[in-house]
A and B are shown apart, each in its own frame.
Chain A
């Protein structure tokens, strides 16, 4: 094997030596291809694995933690949910529509391969600013790709987030979350058990698309990356819908022993992982693999990432029961090999052995790196710049409108109206809510889901930024009235071979471990996406978190004020801030166009008490509306709650000191805005939980008024605020 071939497969010299020693000989060309994908960062987590071990993964509700296709949580009444988040960042930059579509397709397969029927999808997406035409094209492509796949497949896309930042110019992020439900005694695992059992290939035919996709996702982008377009797969949601129904029906036959989807690294990954998990070997003959192109080499067939394919192991002698189901759905299903006792992945081509590798060498013996990490990379100055005096009413009004019109804070209706968020008629709260809520019709339980991330907080302090993210997700879920029970994470970072980037990753994981332990949301699985760099420029460290919570099915509490005359209570109080901790806020970004200092300060025990209080308030049906404060602070939360169908605004009083812009726009956590007809009871629950709960005003028709001491700092008609908020995204997309 020449050094050029080894380098072209993104293997280092020592990695190649390890392959030779594991095999006891030089690898074949097919084998080096197989090793290169299985040992890629994307599949092997070689840079992150030793740190991921620090995360909490257990609780009495966790039925399955990391290591399988998805994590599983017991939701009671004999039912369970499977959920996971996964990134498709690199493909979405190269080919936005198909990249995003197949990202959704991939995560859906991870869910139904376990036997669960997908009931919800959420997406966290990030782009460079929309004044650059290319970013507009990427956004439009990604959104229509997500819509195309989810809508046709028939899973509701119930929420997510969309953020803009310069650092995502060359590296947009597309993180897709999916959740499914099943009976807890009907879980399927990716294990090739039972020597002699047939290995069956089902679904789409194999083509040359997506070869080396996993390796592509494990390298930085360079000028040559544009040539990698053929590495992006093409999705067919209709085929996946058939595959879903066929798989779930075939599972009912009882003839299926193990099943795994062919995602990253396709046939390679599914065969060796299924064997490795069961301690068995797998032998296949590529001649039998359904192919849609002629002349494919063993190398190409093994590395293809063609979509909508599954590998399953059936009970010997019951193949026909399985075939009958797949044929009913018009799908290919053929036996391509069998399970062996020797623990070896043996690949034949027309009977001739082209690869023979111990499964464990591929799946479990991948290199493990404790990469050097120093101080986290930091781009922002520590100290606040001189802050201009923008406390005059004209400034407050102008700044509020500027914030409401910004890409991050404006209405994302243009995006989510393209998603079918209602199919399955189980969506109780959709894209505008703090947390999406889907009910499980078979039981009296509903699932609340929140997806969140904040690259600005994390670049200022990866550890604290990550803790804030966990806190916010749990706050969202609690505001829905649900108890957060588990989480999945997507770690989007730059090149881990740079010590200052590796340090961001390590600090973030440690912060996540601490917060997830504290909020009792074990991580049951997730995804790591590294090398999000273009021409040496890394993205902000951007961990994204999906937290799920459980609640009794009930009419959800809206975020919108439903009627005038309700008391407004600010659960958690006006919050803590200082100039240093203003530097990561939307106010600093949009109004001052700067980034500095530290993220907001989090007091985790206080935060947790706020969650307890809001759950109690919502469960007792004391809140007529509730909305958590996050990006943009109190003023933005107030506006969002006012922009409902009834057009109910508010009149509030804020303290005379500090200056109003700080009270209105700082992003101190642990706060929730509540509209209630029973403020005494709300305040009483807050007091019991040792949480501040000032009454700050009342709701009123069609106006927003803010008094600061004896001065009125804002008094305007809601439409003046709502119109820019509602139309901004379309305007930004259609600018010339």
Chain B
């Protein structure tokens, strides 16, 4: 399967995502520059963490105008798998591919730590290889990771089983402890924690690998 890692100016976990997918999972992986107008023949996309465009104005607010976002919107509309991690999640939300918003952490400070998560649904191409209720230890590293949305949107997300991951010890004030969500088509997921930094025992946890394994399984099944 072929993954694409999208690099915006200021992305800084692009290498981590590339390493996880290509070196640990052994998948073909391509780097896609932010001004690319076509995505080539990739089967899935990762929008990595970082500070795209310096996070000026608002996290992800400038990246949504990148030329590559046109193609990504189309890719997502056609059912392609898109995973947005941290800054990638912020970009997906700013672009309207996912509902809600990510605002300043409740504690007003950047927080880097390992946090326990719970898998809320396995009905998604990003969590199918996990067990429902499974506990994952995955790090966070963000200053603006507090997920918010209006009550109706939150209720809708829950009713549609689109909350994929929840914090067991809420580190940032996210409403209803939400750490990761799906779009209505279930082919786009955004999450604040970094599964790509929990991929080998040497990293202190390899729990994050299940996210990428699920994506690979989904792609294999689709082919």
Contact = CB atoms under 8 A, between A and B. Distances in A.
Interface stretch (A126-134, A412-420, A561-569, A622-630): A412-420
A439 B19 CA distance: 13
A254 interface: no
B203 A421 contact: no
A151 B20 CA distance: 20
A147 interface: yes
B141 A423 contact: yes
B106 interface: no
A152 B51 contact: yes
A422 interface: yes
A428 interface: yes
Nearest to A242: B9
Nearest to B140: A422
Contact of A423 (B16, B56, B201): B16
B207 interface: no
In this complex, which of A154, A419, A428 has the most chain B Cβ atoms within 10 angstroms of its Cβ? A154
Given A154-B12, A422-B194, 10 more contacts: A144-B109, A152-B51, A237-B51, A237-B54, A329-B9, A420-B141, A423-B13, A425-B20, A428-B202, A555-B201
B13 A154 contact: yes
Contacts of A423: 12-13, 16, 49, 141, 197
A358 B51 CA distance: 43
A236 interface: yes
Given A423-B16, A425-B19, A425-B197, A555 B202 contact: yes
A418 B12 contact: no
Say what secondary structure dominates the interface of chain B: mixed
Nearest to B49: A423
Contact of A422 (B10, B15, B55, B141): B141
Given A238-B51, A238-B54, A418 B10 contact: no
A422 B197 contact: yes
18 contacts: A151-B143, A152-B10, A153-B12, A154-B12, A237-B51, A238-B9, A238-B10, A238-B55, A417-B109, A417-B111, A418-B111, A418-B112, A422-B112, A423-B49, A424-B16, A425-B16, A439-B202, A441-B23
B50 interface: yes
B94 interface: no
B53 interface: yes
A194 B99 CA distance: 58
A423 B49 CA distance: 9
B113 interface: yes
B10 A441 contact: no
B193 to A, nearest CB: 11
A422 B139 contact: yes
Contacts of A237: 51, 54
Given A152-B55, A241-B12, A425 B199 contact: yes
Interface in A612-656: none
B110 A147 contact: yes
Contacts of B177: none
Contacts of B20: 425
Nearest to A431: B112
B120 interface: no
Contacts of A419: 110, 112
B19 A441 contact: yes
A445 interface: no
A381 interface: no
A477 to B, nearest CB: 19
A144 B111 CA distance: 12
B110 A420 contact: yes
Number of chain B interface residues as a range: 20 to 34
Contact of A417 (B19, B113, B194): B113
A555 B113 CA distance: 19
A212 to B, nearest CB: 28
Contacts of A424: 15-16
B196 interface: yes
Contacts of B56: 238
A553 interface: yes
Interface string A119-151: 000000000000000000000000010010001
B170 to A, nearest CB: 15
Contacts of B19: 425, 441
Interface of A: 144, 147, 151-154, 236-239, 241-242, 329-330, 416-425, 427-428, 439, 441, 553, 555
A602 to B, nearest CB: 34
A61 B188 CA distance: 49
Interface in B1-59: 9-10, 12-13, 15-16, 19-20, 23, 49-51, 53-56
Contacts of A330: 9
Contacts of A439: 202
B10 A242 contact: yes
Contacts of B23: 441
Nearest to B208: A425
Contacts of A418: 109-112
The 10 tightest CB contacts between A and B, nearest first, are A154-B12, A238-B54, A425-B16, A152-B51, A420-B141, A425-B197, A420-B112, A418-B110, A422-B197, A238-B10
A154 B14 CA distance: 10
A433 to B, nearest CB: 12
Nearest to A238: B54
B168 to A, nearest CB: 14
A670 to B, nearest CB: 30
Contacts of B49: 423
Q: Which one of A237, A239, A242, A425 has the greatest number of beta carbons of chain B within 10 Å?
A: A425
Contacts of A238: 9-10, 51, 53-56
With most chain A CB atoms within 10 A of its CB, the pick from B9, B16, B199 is B9
Contacts of A441: 19, 23
A425 B51 contact: no
A418 B12 CA distance: 17
B109 A425 contact: no
A153 B12 CA distance: 7
Contacts of A422: 112, 139, 141, 194, 197, 203
Contacts of B202: 428, 439, 553, 555
Contacts of A154: 12-13, 50-51
A420 B202 CA distance: 17
Interface in B156-205: 194, 196-197, 199, 201-203
Contacts of B16: 423-425
Contacts of A151: 51, 110, 141, 143
A417 B142 CA distance: 10
A418 B140 CA distance: 11
A147 B141 CA distance: 11
Among A151, A242, A330, A422: residue with most chain B CB under 10 A: A422
Contacts of B53: 238
Interface centre among A144, A417, A421 (most CB of B within 10 A): A417
A238 B8 CA distance: 11
A241 B13 CA distance: 12
A717 to B, nearest CB: 22
A428 B55 CA distance: 28
Contacts of B54: 152, 236-239
Residue from A147, A238, A419, A441 whose CB has the most chain B CB atoms within 10 Å: A238
B59 to A, nearest CB: 11
A239 B194 CA distance: 24
A428 to B, nearest CB: 6
Nearest to A152: B51
Interface in B61-117: 109-113
A421 B51 contact: no
A638 B149 CA distance: 46
Contacts of A144: 109
Contacts of B55: 152, 238
Contacts of B194: 422
A418 B19 CA distance: 25
A548 to B, nearest CB: 19
B55 to A, nearest CB: 7
